[in-house]
Chains A and B, each alone.
Chain A
């Protein structure tokens, strides 16, 4: 029989067998309703065809493809981040790997489903497999996504196996019979012998190394599906790394939100600590900076090229139809960077929340006065300012107000670093969905050979998107009702390692001098 620390049992195993509470039932009910509505509209779409969506000539790829790229990006949260941290021996990874790996599997399932939803005739799906040709990036995508999904499921299951055996040996006696059988079957006869551990560790180490290139290939290939066409705005050599960076970035954002939800709902404050937030936060800031670099580089190429077929796509994003979604994306990413970086510069505990809003208002009012003064006293060298429209002024004011509010809340973000990470992550996750939108839709509405078109998502597409998000959250909730949110054996191992390291005394450097 495998042993478990009593506190771990109380926090990680007992809640799995507790009766379902009202909050859980309400969440499952609400999410099921959203999924049922989306399912109904999907069946309707099957009957009436893709005409019920906003798609039409020349826009044949739209919201479902945006969702596909977005969810596959989110899937990089887990396996890739978990694998990188495991390979590099980052000890602080232990409490968050399970959540990260679960995100990967569920996001991949939902992401892959989007392709089937996008097909007007899903019965033709087998044709892509039967008649697949190696020259097509679509078949590369099928190969890499399949390998990633199977690898991620295995990578989730391998470290789960000892935990399943621990649950099997330590579950309450009054646990239902089906739960007893469930854990016994899934534990695959794990006993925890020395040889089993050695083999398991080797398998996990191999998978951690193997999954990294597979994960990178997945998002690279998704980008190549776009980049290997001649469509304006897509035919770019940096799309591969740009997509991979964006995927890891959105993945970390999703991980922050998920691990905070798990921490709060399951009361795991003693397991998921500030240390995990701080270290993952540093990686998040790096990815944020890289994302800005790639976004700038990508659009710089379009701007300086001045190609007649590419400029309309860029113009649509910078000041045309897609300007709101483009600049909202930029604002959200800049806001996330601000929240992650600026509060850490403030001196500790100098200001409190009650001062936040007055400070924000003061800064906003000050900026407003400066702006008005500038417009009234226009020197002859700045005559172009007289052409500023009311709409432009409103936009500028909005941006200034957001900056002012963020500045005002900096002290609060400083004293609530976990909440700050969640706010920044929410900005990033929304921003990354918008980024996928800004990549897919402006190009499909501005094709090279056909007349330009427009696209507005229909109720069907919006509902199916909401149902996809609900499906992702539902899988997450149900999974963590059946399995521990934290790897029990990895935590126990981490404690022993930490204890051993604390015994080692590092000597001070020898003083040098006269």
Chain B
């Protein structure tokens, strides 16, 4: 059996887990990625364009009625 570190893929794994700073990069990536994701989510919610006159204090499943509309033919049967 060959020694695993002869193979480039294992050399890459070895480098990944043993090089100082790579873990830091992952930590930074997780932190910055999370912050960016949450910021964009809040921005996305805030930026929703809609009829400003129609506001609701709470949602119900009825709020989603348009999304679940099944196209009907004229005679009442599902297309």
Interface: A492 (CB within 8 A): yes
State whether B38 touches A150 (Cβ < 8 A).
yes
Chain B interfacial positions (CB closer than 8 Å to A): 16-24, 26-28, 30-31, 34-35, 38, 41-42, 44-46, 48-52, 54-60, 63-64, 67
State whether A133 touches B55 (Cβ < 8 A).
no
State whether B38 touches A194 (Cβ < 8 A).
no
State whether B42 touches A188 (Cβ < 8 A).
yes
State whether B50 touches A193 (Cβ < 8 A).
yes
> Known interface pairs A132-B23, A135-B18, A193-B50. Does A150 touch B34 (Cβ–Cβ under 8 Å)?
yes
State whether A132 touches B50 (Cβ < 8 A).
no
Q: How many Cβ-Cβ contacts under 8 Å join chain A to chain B?
A: 127
User: Which residues of chain B come closer than 8 Å to A129, judged between CB atoms?
Assistant: 24, 27-28
- Which residues from 456 to 503 on chain A have a C-beta closer than 8 Å to any C-beta of chain B? 489-490, 492-493, 496-497, 500
State whether B24 touches A492 (Cβ < 8 A).
no
User: Which residues of chain B come closer than 8 Å to A158, judged between CB atoms?
Assistant: 41
CB distance from B37 to the nearest CB of A (A): 9
A200 to B67, CA, bound (A): 15
State whether A492 touches B23 (Cβ < 8 A).
no
State whether B30 touches A146 (Cβ < 8 A).
yes
Mostly, the A contact residues are: helix
State whether A147 touches B23 (Cβ < 8 A).
no
User: Which residues of chain B come closer than 8 Å to A135, judged between CB atoms?
Assistant: 17-18, 23
User: Which residues of chain B come closer than 8 Å to A195, judged between CB atoms?
Assistant: 48-50
Which bracket fits the contact residues of A?
A: 35 or more
User: Which residues of chain A come closer than 8 Å to B59, judged between CB atoms?
Assistant: 197-198, 200-201, 489, 493
State whether A4 touches B46 (Cβ < 8 A).
no
Q: Which of A146, A150, A166, A497 makes the CB contact (< 8 A) with B27?
A: A146
Q: What are 20 A-to-B residue pairs whose CB atoms are below 8 Å?
A: A130-B21, A132-B23, A133-B17, A134-B17, A134-B18, A136-B23, A139-B27, A146-B34, A150-B35, A157-B42, A190-B46, A192-B55, A192-B57, A195-B50, A197-B59, A197-B63, A203-B45, A492-B58, A493-B58, A496-B58
State whether A132 touches B60 (Cβ < 8 A).
no
A191 to B52, CA, bound (A): 7
Closest to B13 in A: A134
Q: Which of A139, A151, A203 makes the CB contact (< 8 A) with B24?
A: A139
State whether B55 touches A191 (Cβ < 8 A).
yes
State whether A132 touches B31 (Cβ < 8 A).
no
A154 to B45, CA, bound (A): 13
Closest to A138 in B: B23
A199 to B19, CA, bound (A): 41
User: Which residues of chain A come closer than 8 Å to B22, judged between CB atoms?
Assistant: 132-134
> Known interface pairs A131-B20, A188-B46. Does A139 touch B26 (Cβ–Cβ under 8 Å)?
yes
Q: Which of B16, B35, B41, B55 makes the CB contact (< 8 A) with A134?
A: B16
Interface: A385 (CB within 8 A): no
User: Which residues of chain A come closer than 8 Å to B35, judged between CB atoms?
Assistant: 150
Interface: A353 (CB within 8 A): no
State whether B23 touches A133 (Cβ < 8 A).
yes
State whether B57 touches A489 (Cβ < 8 A).
yes
Closest to A191 in B: B55
The 8 A-B pairs at the shortest CB distance, nearest first, are namely A132-B23, A193-B50, A139-B23, A195-B48, A195-B50, A132-B24, A489-B58, A135-B17
